[in-house]
Amino acid sequence: MKRIRLVVRNDKQQAHVIANRFGNLLADRDVATDAGDPDAIVAVGGDGTMLEAASIALELSVPVCGINVGRVGYLAEFAQDEIEDLAIAIASDGFAIMHHSTVSVSTGTETASAINDVVVEKVTGQRIIEVAVEVNHRPLATYRTDGVIVATPLGSTAYSLSAGGPIVDPTLDALIMTPVAPHSLLTRAIVLAPDAVVTLSVTGDRPARINVDGRELLIVEPDELVTIRRGSHAVKFMTLDRHPFPHAVREQFGLDHA
C-alpha cells in the first residue's frame, strides 16, 4: 500500500472539501493518507501551501505535487477537476518526476534551504541598507537597497519578479539575484551559474533580516557574512506534464484572458 501525506490549507474550506474528495479517491485505490512515513506529499491549497509541502518533501526526500485551490497556482500543477487523474497516477506510479534546484543560506549560526528564494532585507521600519555582494569570492557591487533576493528558477515568478527580475524556465539550473528598489547604478537582476557562491554582508550600522521562502530565519548584524548557493538537494515534483512552462505562465498572468 502506498502512503500519501496531505498538506491542506487550514483557512480555506474549499481546500478541505477537495482534500476529503481526493482522500476518498486514493482510498478506493488502496492508497493511505494517514501514514506517518509517506511515500509522497500532496498539497491542497495555493502556492503558500505548496511551499510548505515542498519543504516537508525536501526534508523527507520524497516527491511532492499540489492541487490548486488558491488564486494563483504556479507551483501547484493540478486543477480541482484533475484530482481523479492524479489519484490514478499515484496508485499506478503513472507520473514523471521533475527535479528542481533549491537554494541554501548559511551564516555563522544558521543554515537553511529554500524552494523559492532567500532574501536579505532591511528590518521593517528602518531605512535602506547597504549590501556588499561578492560572487565566487570576487567583489561585484554594493547596493543601497531595501534588500537582495537570490532565487531559484522555480521561484523566479515570486518576489524576484515583483522586484523586476526575469521569468526563468524552472527546468533550468541557475541562481537569480535581484536587488529590491536599489539606489545604485546596477539595478538589474543578474542570472548566475548554478555553482555560483554569493556572499552578502551588510555594511554600515543597520542590521538586516534573512527570510527563507517568506519566513524569517534570523537577524544578521552589520559585517556578518551571509553565504548563498545552490542547495545540495533538489526538490522532486510529481507531474503529468499537462501544464508546460508557457501554459503555466499564461495561466498565472491571465494572458488567456488579455
From residue 125, give the alpha-carbon distance in Å to each of 68, 207, 209. 34, 12, 12
Helix axes 13-27, 83-92, angle to 10 degrees: 40
From residue 164, give the alpha-carbon distance in Å to each of 2, 118, 160, 176, 208. 43, 16, 7, 11, 21
* Residue 21 backbone phi and psi in degrees, to 5: -65, -45
Q: List the catalytic residue out of 34, 47, 93, 169.
A: 47
47 is catalytic: yes
Q: Read off the amino acid at residue 225.
A: L
The length of the chain in residues reads 258
What are 108's three cell numbers? 555563522
Active site residues: 47
